[in-house]
Amino acid sequence: MLLRLSPPRALRNPRILSMATPSRQSSRFQARAVTTLAVEASGSPRKRKRASDDTLDGAQSETGKKLGPKRTCQPKPEAIYIIPDVSPKKTTFKGRLGYACLNTVLRNKKPAKDSIFCSRTCRLDSIKKNGIDWVKDLGRQNVQDLLTMIQWNEDNNIKFMRMSSEMFPFASHAVHGYSLEYCAPLLARVGELAKKLDHRLTAHPGQYTQLGSPKAEVVQASVRELAYHSEMMDRMGLGVDSVMIIHGGGMYDDKNATLGRIKKTITEVLSPGVRARLVLENDEMCYNAEDLLPLCEELDVPLVFDYHHDALFPSSITPSEIIRRANAIWDRRGIKPKQHLSEARPGAVTLMERRAHADRCESLPVDLPDNMGMWKVPLHAAIFDSSCSDLMIEAKDKEQAVLHLYRIYGLHPVIHASLRPPNEDQTKETKGRKSTKKQRMSKEDGE
């Protein structure tokens, strides 16, 4: 059912009016505020569809059946979104904000064939059914779409992102694994674009990457997974800042013994190329920053400090001290430091609830260094500015969470057509089972 709002009514409606009044709104959006709106009364509160300027189109939509086959030929009306204003805050932080794996604007493009994303994957059965070339073609499409995502980021003042760990489905599989040689030219194009735009690409291999497992086959699979990510980055020609981040993994009833096995795998099994890109990150259940720092310092493996994980599983040392020690490692290695930021969902109480990432972040951490403390500008300083610090925003709303912080802190101008409103029901999603679609989207998150 469609509800028609005439322009004067639309302007009297405070939600719709709000999009025309905030100082940050572009003239384009002000113009949209006075267009005729067709509101989907039974649909999502997040999205309003604008009827065509042609009144007939609106009438057709209401009557439905009169449209006939012609309707399929007509482009869908451009969606219009009501973007709430933000409460401005101040910061001295001058670093860059990035997001992980999925761009919600590009992913949700309609029709579905226009959707842009890098995590096309399949079940093992599909390899047997469709053949390995079909699977490899999914990888090619993923890489093709990565080019579009990087350009979108550039157009929206975003300079770094994490690549999906599913770019090449089953590439590291013991039986069905394959070389990325077939995709070499396209991977090189990604690297050239990233380099041209000074875009940092990182990776976060999945939770099954367990360097400290007591099972040899698990360690072997983990090493293959890291090697695949490393090959992808090498074929892109990415530099030292393109790191692969993993957690400590399981504790297997003995944390110290497991840390010993992680050390052994890093020093004795990983190839120099893989080890050069390896970074560890504190998690919220098994290994906090304090558990990992001694190993990281001993082996010169950088540590990504995750604020959310530290809040859930704190160390006895402060975030500032952890960051100071972590940045000393990044510094020694000549790699640009990075950290992770996310927040618990509003109203989250139990540990399990607090583990879930909020849709967006409302604040930058108070102890976030303006330029990552000890970080010094190395020889290749010409390619990035001296206030180098990268903060990965690990929020469900992905690029929207970055743009949200841009607006709150005035970090960069935003294109209003790129903004989407926050989900009004986010607290409900911490309860109950996820639907299949949500599970899939969560997998695409790559967190």
Contact residues for Zn ion (CB under 5 A)? Answer: 306, 340
Cβ closest to Zn ion, residue 138 vs residue 323: 323
Distance of closest approach, residue 260 Cβ to Zn ion, in angstroms? 24
CA 344 to chain centre: 16
Angle between helical axes of 289-299 and 255-264 (0-180°, round to 10): 30
CB of 394 to Zn ion, least distance (A): 5
Q: CB 402 → Zn ion: shortest distance, Å? A: 15
Closest CB to Zn ion among residues 421, 446? 446
- 340/396 with CB nearer Zn ion: 340
- By DSSP bridging, strand 338-341 and strand 390-393 are parallel
- For the chain, the C-alpha Rg in angstroms (whole number) is 23
Residue whose C-beta lies closest to Zn ion = 340
Indicate the residue among 166 and 283 with the shorter CB distance to Zn ion: 283
The closest of 161, 198, 235, 173 to 445, measured between CA atoms, is 161
The answer to whether 139 and 171 have CB atoms below 8 angstroms apart is yes
Cβ nearer to Zn ion, comparing 199 with 340: 340
- Work out the angle at residue 396's Cα, subtended by the Cα atoms of residues 138 and 366, and round it to the nearest 5 degrees: 130
Amino acid sitting at position 229: H
Q: Which residues pair with 203 in a beta bridge?
A: 163, 244
CB of 52 to Zn ion, least distance (A): 44
Q: Least distance (Å) from Zn ion to the CB of residue 306? A: 4
Interacting residues of 122 by C-beta distance below 8 A, sequence separation 6+: 130, 135, 138, 169, 170
Looking at beta carbons only, is 279 or 414 nearer to Zn ion?
279
Measured from the CB of residue 90, what is the shortest distance to Zn ion in angstroms?
A: 26
CB of residue 221 vs Zn ion: minimum separation in angstroms?
A: 22
Residue (61 or 202) nearer to Zn ion, CB: 202
Distance between CA atoms of residues 321 and 319, nearest Å: 5
**Residue whose CB is less far from Zn ion, 58 or 249:** 249
**Cα–Cα distances in angstroms (integers) from residue 281 to residues 33, 231, 276, 302, 352, in the given order:** 45, 21, 15, 9, 20
Is 122 within 8 Å of 173 (Cβ atoms)?
no
CB of 164 to Zn ion, least distance (A): 15
Helix axes 216-236, 184-196, angle to 10 degrees: 60
